[in-house]
Amino acid sequence: MSTLTITARDAATGPVIEITGDLDYDTAPGLREAVNGLTVAGGHLLLLDLAGLRFCDSSGISALLSARSLAIEQGGHIALAAVPANTARILRIVGLDQVFTIHADAATATASPRERR
């Protein structure tokens, strides 16, 4: 059975969801549930930190898109951080690298513009 750990925390930029394990048919509903319980204030960023992601199938991609929809519906933005190479490849193939903002890591994504310099 697939395992997935979802950890939520707050950053100055908005909520951060750390996803560890396999994001697939069995576990994608858990991500949807975690994201549906969030509030993304207008102008804030929902960051999905994928540093611990081992595997992502089409159900996982669908859950990422659902998270995007929720963030946008609430007036926020979404970004992915630390996307593993195999998942980044899939995102590129299906064109979702043009839909999601992708950061090298969570620290960069949640840094203030002054800290990014």
Report, as an integer, the average pLDDT of 43-64: 97
CATH architecture of residue range(s) 4-107: 2-Layer Sandwich (3.30)
Q: What is the pLDDT of residue 45?
A: 96
| C-alpha radius of gyration, the chain, whole number | 13
pTM: predicted TM-score of the whole model, two decimal places:
0.93
How many CB atoms are closer than 10 A to CB 36? 10
Q: What is the pLDDT of residue 117?
A: 44
Of the CA atoms within 13 Å of residue 114, those in its CB half-sphere come to 0
- Per-domain boundaries in the chain: 4-107
Is the pLDDT score of 60 beyond 70? yes
